[in-house]
Each structure stands twice: as C-alpha cells, then as structure tokens.
C-alpha cells in the first residue's frame, strides 16, 4: 500500500473530513481494519486567501510546494490538496512536485460530465476563475456560477463562519436559495460543492437539485491510487 500525504489546514474542517473518509475508504476497499499510512502537512487557508487576494499565484505555488516537499520527505508516495482553491495552481505545483499529485478537479469533472448544466459554488476565487469551469465545459457541460452579490455573500460566510467550523441555519438557507435561483433561472441540474468546506454545511440537507460532494469524488480517486 502506498503512503498518502495530504495538504491540510486549507481549511481545517475539510482536513478532518478527508482524514476520516480516506481511512474508512481504504478499509472498505481492502476489506480490513488497516490503519493506512498517511501524513498531513498543515498549511493555512488564511495564507492561501492572502496569496489569491493579491493575485500572487507564484507565491501560492511556492507555499504549497514547500508543503508537498515536506510530505515527500516524510516518505509519502503521492499527495493531494484538501482545498479546491489551491487547485488554481495545481498544474504549476504538479510540474515541480517530487511526488505525483491527485487532482480534486479531475474527479469533479468526471462526476459532473453526465449533466447538461451544473452550478459551481466555492470560494470567490474558484467561482470567478476558470480552473474548474473550463475543464467542465470542455466535456460539453455548461457551468454557471452565482452573480457578484451572491459570490460576495458566499465568500463572506466561508471566511467568517464555515472555515471556523460555525454552521448557521440562516447561512444554509441563504446558500440554498442561491442554488434554487440557479436551478430556476439558469437550468442548473447539479450543485457542485466546489469548496471542501461546503459539504458540512449541507450535511443532511436537501437542495433544489442534487449536490456533488467533491470530497467524496476526490477520496474515491485517492483510495484507488493508494490501494
């Protein structure tokens, strides 16, 4: 079995989910109670937001590569980033990484390819950039995003509440209303939870359309890669 490394802390809530789902996924895949070898390098979503806010993709790449190299030094055979936003520089990081990286975006593209129109939710940087929407649309699927006011609302809620583990009913309802509008006005058939902090927000909550938990899609690829 290969040793997996995770870049965590970007944010902390999703890192915990990844840890649990990866370990349980490997146990299910192997039919054993094995506790798989895994190392987490804890970076910071605050640093990531600062780099992205300044448009400093080179700085973000260097920051993430430092974490990846630490994972390689810890004996990891492959690695993954537990945040969607950091995938804005995935190709840059992968090009200089000493170990293979498994992409959450690739997993998401495959999982959404059967739909005609999907709605992409995430951080402001994810929703206003093309590193997720472009590969989705390359498969023939239309990808829509919230409007500027809605994007600002989601980013504020992520920063002030969700990244800190705070889940409020009014926030669930607020983001759910955005999904409902995108379904009604844009014809969205699937809501992509393109920030790995969003699945906990909608745990056990039905939206106007089916939702894609991108952590599940990514973890499935990770389990396959290590077993």
Report helix, strand or coil for 85. Answer: helix
> Could you tell me where in the chain the CATH 3.40.50.1860 domains are found?
4-103+216-226, 105-213
127 — pLDDT class (breaks 50, 70, 90):
very high
Question: pLDDT digit string (tens) for 96-119?
Answer: 999 999 999 999 999 999 999 999
- Cα separation values, 73 from 69, 183, 211, Å: 6, 46, 37
CATH of 105-213, one of 3.90.79.10, 3.30.420.40, 3.40.50.1860, 3.40.190.10: 3.40.50.1860
Shortest CA distance to 145 belongs to which of 175, 176, 119? Answer: 119
Q: Which residues of 77-103 are buried (b: 16+ CB within 10 A; e: fewer)?
A: bbbbbbbbbbbbbbebbbeebebebbb
CATH annotation of 4-103+216-226: 3.40.50.1860
Is 145 a residue whose pLDDT tops 90?
yes
Q: What is the pLDDT of residues 50-83, one digit of tens each?
A: 999 899 999 999 999 999 999 999 999 999 999 9
- How high is the pLDDT of residue 140? 96
CB 139 within 8 A of CB 114: no
Residue 90 in contact with residue 96, Cβ under 8 Å? no
How large is the average pLDDT for residues 156-184? 94
Distance of alpha carbon 150 from alpha carbon 118, whole angstroms: 16
Q: Give strand pairing partners of 78.
A: 4
């Amino acid at each position: 079995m290969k040793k997996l490394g995770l870049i965590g802390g970007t944010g902390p809530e999703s890192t915990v989910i990844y840890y649990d789902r990866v370990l349980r996924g490997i146990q299910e895949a192997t039919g054993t109670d094995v506790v798989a070898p895994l190392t987490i390098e804890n970076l910071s979503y605050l640093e990531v937001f600062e780099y992205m806010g300044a448009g400093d993709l080179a700085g973000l790449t260097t920051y993430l590569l430092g974490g990846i190299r630490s994972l390689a030094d810890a004996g990891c055979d492959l690695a993954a980033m537990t945040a969607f936003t950091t995938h804005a520089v995935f190709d840059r990081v992968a090009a200089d990484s000493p170990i293979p990286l498994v992409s959450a975006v690739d997993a998401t593209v495959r999982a959404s390819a059967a739909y005609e129109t999907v709605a992409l939710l995430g951080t402001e940087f994810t929703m206003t950039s093309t590193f997720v929407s472009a590969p989705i649309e390359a498969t023939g699927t239309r990808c829509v995003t919230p409007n500027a006011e809605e994007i600002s609302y989601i980013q504020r809620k992520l920063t002030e509440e969700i990244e800190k583990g705070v889940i409020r009913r009014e926030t669930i309802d607020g983001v759910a209303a955005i999904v409902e509008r995108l379904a009604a006005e844009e014809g969205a058939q699937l809501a992509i939870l393109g920030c790995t902090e969003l699945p906990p927000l909608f745990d056990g909550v039905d939206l106007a359309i089916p939702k894609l938990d991108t952590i599940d899609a990514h973890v499935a690829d990770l389990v396959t890669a290590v077993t």
